[in-house]
Every structure is written in structure tokens, then in C-alpha cells.
Amino acid sequence: MSEDDAGSDGGADASAREVRQRKIIHVDMDAFFASVEQRDNPELRGKPVAVGGSSGRGVVAAASYEARRFGVKSAMPSVTAKRKCPDLIFVKSRFDAYREASEQIRAIFRHHTDLVEPLSLDEAYLDVTQNKLGIPSATRVAEMIRQEIRAKTRLTASAGVSYNKFLAKLASDQNKPDGLCVIRPGEGAAFVQTLPIRRFHGVGPRGEEKMARLGIATGADLAAKDRAWLAQHFGSFGEYLYRAARGIDNRPVRSNRIRKSVGGERTFSVDRHGAEELRTTLAEIVEIVWERIERAQARGRTVTLKLKYNDFQLMTRARSLPRNVEGKEEFAALGHEILESLLPLPRPIRLMGLTLSNLERDGEEEALRRDGKTGQLSLL
């Protein structure tokens, strides 16, 4: 953004005018968990590192950029990761260390603004329209934040700067790692239209394939479709796609966002249907989601299984207890019990998710929302 980085974007509709006056930064730490491990252990620097279990049923929680070059990514079964990268080094997660670094980073954010919306330990939105240091340029604020993070934590962060959250998040991913990207007023719609459709949040591999069949490969292709056409082919998701293709996002940065559930979902590159394959997939999701539940110190009574069929029809089934779920084993058992009641499935699925809800606070509110993000977290 320029020094007067609020302004109007003539291509967007009037309802977004007030939002366009905002100055939003999205900060995303680079390979956060793995980078903390490499920072604290010099022997790991420059080597392919995966945080997570290396056992046969282990799952990669995070991967260094050196590992990502081999195709290793989070939520990948450890055996698959090792096959892709034989020299991969597995390290056990140390959430106390990640949380300590995250708290240092959030203190830097709060030095500039109180309007901070954490999405997880390693990323957040900041509204710096009226920032504490009175700096008129959001770009300058983002540069200062990145410099302070590097100086105080010895870690790198990428940042996106724009006039709404959707664009700022896209921008933060544009020049990773250790990069900065600015989308100025008037540039949002044009920027979005140059992107491949897979860059749109919420569009997974199967969604990309469906769009390809419909002749949509880029944001420009999507922007050429009207609301009625998108609703016909994508249901309620069509409204999101319509606005996203035009760079429109009216959501404010919410510093008091409180988690209502803890969960995760996984979109598959190839549809899944076989009973054993589905059981294995659910077991992998349980491992990742339970780790998140423990990090959030969350306790809840309801387990919900989410399935999305290959025709995009969504189905959820839940089991509630009169008390809190007692440990990972019961959480997994409830999830598998729901799945077994649905087998055999009538057709293949493209997505599976599992959530714990009806949460109780464990101590202060901050303990529950320490990890930031509300609702479902993508596993991929």
C-alpha cells in the first residue's frame, strides 16, 4: 500500500466501500514448527525436517522448506513422507517452545495494534488502520513487524498487506518464505483474476477438477460467471466464489474471536470410498485433531463427523455425551462409531472432517483460544 494506503476500489461494489478504507496485514510465520526446531538445534539447519511421529501410524504435523521440496507436507502419513524423502529427519513436537515463540510474536503485534485476530500459533490478521505508533503506511508497519520478529525470535515471517482480509492472506503466501507482498486499493480484482483457482481458500483438488470441467482455471474465468450460474453449480459456496473473484471481503478483524469448536478436515486429491481406506483416513485425522484439542486445553461433549461426497453434497453426523469426552481413545472411538454406522457409503467422498464441540473453558478464556482459530482447520 502507498503512504495513504486506504482508498477506493472502483471495480468493487458499494457494500465493500467501508471495508476498503481498512489497512489489513496478514502475518504468516514460515514453516513455524520446523523453523523453531532448526533454530534451537543447529544440526537440523539446512536439512529436511518433519515435526511429528515417525511410527507407522504417525502423521507429519509440519515440514521444513527443505522437506517440502520433496513433496512432504503437513497431515501426510509419516511412512509416505519418508518414502518421498528418505533422508527426512523426524523430531517430536515441543508445543511449549512453539507457544513461547508465538507469545513473543503476538507481543510484537500488540506493540502496533490491539486489533489482532490470531488464526493459529503462527498466523494472524492485524488491522493497522489506526495503529499505536501513528504510522500512516501499512507497508511500513508490516516491514517493521517482520524485522522485529526476526530480531527477537530468530525466525522469519511473510506478510501480506491489503485493504481486506481475503486479499491480505493471499498476499502473504505470494512471496514465501520471508517475503512481503502488497495489494493496493484498485489492484485487488486484477490481482485475484491472475491466480490459479487452487489459490482460492476453500477450493481443494476436487473443486479444482470440477471447475476445470466447467472451463474455470483462473480467477478471471471465475469472475466471468454471474451469481446465478455459480449458485447453480456450487450452491451456497457460489456466493463466496462470486465475491472472492472480485476481491471483495467485508469481514472485520476480530480481536475477541472465541473458539466454539476444535476440529480438522481433509480434502482428498482422489475420492475415497473403500471402508478400510476410510477407517485409516479417520485414524490419521484423529491424531492431528486430538493434538490440537490438547494444545487448546479444550474439553467437550460432542463429536461430529463431516463427509462431503464427490457431488459436493455435505453430510454431518454427531454423537453427544452427558459428560466431557474422556481422552483421545474415546474421541477416536466415537468418531469411528459414527463412521461405522454409515458404512458402506453410497458413493465416494472428497472430504472428511472431525470436530469436538460443546466446549467448556479450562481455566481462563485465553487458555481455550490460545491457538486462535475458530471452527474447522484444514489438515492440508
Burial 197-224 (b: 16+ CB within 10 A, else e): beebeebbebbbebbeeeebebbbbbbe
Evaluate whether 23 touches 127 at the Cβ level (below 8 Å). Answer: yes
Out of 37, 66, 117, 123, the active site residue is 123
Q: What CA–CA distance (Å, rounded) separates 142 from 150?
A: 12
Q: What CA–CA distance (Å, rounded) separates 292 from 327?
A: 13
Give the list of residues 6+ apart from residue 80 with CB closer than 8 angstroms, or none.
Answer: none
Q: Is 329 noted as a catalytic residue in this protein? A: no
Give the list of residues 6+ apart from residue 47 with CB closer than 8 angstroms, or none.
Answer: 38, 64, 66, 87, 89
Evaluate whether 345 touches 233 at the Cβ level (below 8 Å). Answer: no
Q: What CA–CA distance (Å, rounded) separates 278 from 59?
A: 16
Positions marked catalytic: 123
